[in-house]
Structure 1
Amino acid sequence: MSGAGEDGAVDGRERDRDGAGRARNARPRDGLGRPLAHGAEGVARQPEGVVRSPRETVVEAQRLLDAGMPFHAHEVFEDAWKSGPEADAALWRGLAQLAVGLTHAARGNAVGGARLLRRGAGALAGQGNAYGMDVPGLTGWARELAGRVEAGERIDAAAEAPRLAGPV
């Protein structure tokens, strides 16, 4: 049986830790957030804890979605959910779930992708448009995509990227 020892080592290897000593996986990641081998060329990670205005959040998330990087867009939504007003938390959390659902779908995980797309759609249901986003349209997009994912359709994250808002 393997596990972490008192020194934080796993199977004899030191665990990656951030400056505060929290466990962090420092392995490079691909555009869908999958870990790559140490030393491999990866995609730059989104910095954590960035406080953005709602408009900046939408613009940055859209840029990442359009680039086929929904995992990274989810991190932008997660920052908004954790740093913004409590009244907006459900909106940003629902959008983060849509981005993670698209991530799983593009990775070929049909069950997880469909489940998270539907969970995000459920979290957004009943919310009107917010910050220039067509929230009901995003809910419909997520449910339609979930059905296609369950039917076995291969998903390309960039091609399926939703349009969050009108021209910015």
Structure 2
Amino acid sequence: MNARDRDGEGRARNARPRDGLGRPLPYGTPGVERQPEGVVRAPGETVREAQRLLDAGMPFHAHEVFEDAWKSGPAEAAPLWRALAQLAVGLTHAARGNAVGGARLLRRGAAALAGPAGAGTGAVTVPGPPYGMDLPGLVRWARELAVRVEAGAAVDAAAEAPHLTGGPGPA
């Protein structure tokens, strides 16, 4: 029987390598470097690092960056980061071929970002676009992708990656 993988503090951690969509690979297989957990970043750094990972077709890893922000940042910003993590996980599931889960998470994240009025202002209360992000554009992107995923569209995570701050996506 194999002992469970543990981190330096004795907590259970899966040390198996993972692919770009976060799927576990067999031990000894080269994988994508995992995101370190518990990293505290400034909001702009969070947005930049998540965008880099999204552009690279690694939305699972981008979700981990958003999760760190929601757990380590101010409470009033947590709903924003949680909604963005849901979008990243929705894209992950869609790219893995899980249409039901992908569409559900994309819609859940979009609803949280849209807020009660549906205008893309519900997740956080900071002046202007939160941390420079285009929330209405992200809401549109997520809702449109959810429809296409449910219709059976194949999803390439890098090609479908949203551009968090609006404007053109990756080249």
TM-score for both structures, normalised by structure 2: 0.89
Matched, 1:158 2:158: yes
Q: Which residue of 2 aligns with 1:4?
A: none
Distance 1:148 1:104 in 2: 13
Q: Is the 8 A contact 2:137 2:166 kept in 1?
A: no
Give, as a single letter, the amino acid of the residue that structure 1 aligns with 2:60: F
Alignment of 1:1-150 (within 5 A): 12-126=1-115, 127-128=120-121, 129-150=129-150
Q: Secondary structure at the match of 2:158?
A: coil
Q: Secondary structure at the match of 2:130?
A: coil
RMSD: 1.0
Q: Which residue of 2 aligns with 1:3?
A: none
Report sequence identity in percent.
79
Distance 1:33 1:166 in 2: 26
Q: Which runs of 5+ in 1 are unaligned?
A: 1-11
Give, as a single letter, the amino acid of the residue that structure 2 aligns with 1:82: K
Give, as a single letter, the amino acid of the residue that structure 2 aligns with 1:67: A
Distance 2:18 2:40 in 1: 23
Moved over 3 A (4+): none
Give, as a single letter, the amino acid of the residue that structure 1 aligns with 2:71: K
Give a deviation string over 1:106-145, Cα, whole Å, max 9, x none: 0001011001101111111134321100011101110110
User: In the comparison of the two structures, how many residue pairs are matched?
Assistant: 156
Q: Is the 8 A contact 2:17 2:25 kept in 1?
A: yes
Q: 1:145 to 1:166 in 2, by over 3 A?
A: closer
Deviation at 1:53, TM superposition (A): 0.5
Distance 2:73 2:159 in 1: 30
Q: Secondary structure at the match of 2:49?
A: helix
Distance 1:143 1:22 in 2: 37
Distance 2:6 2:93 in 1: 26
Q: Secondary structure at the match of 1:159?
A: helix
Deviation at 1:166, TM superposition (A): 4.8
Give, as a single letter, the amino acid of the residue that structure 1 aligns with 2:151: A
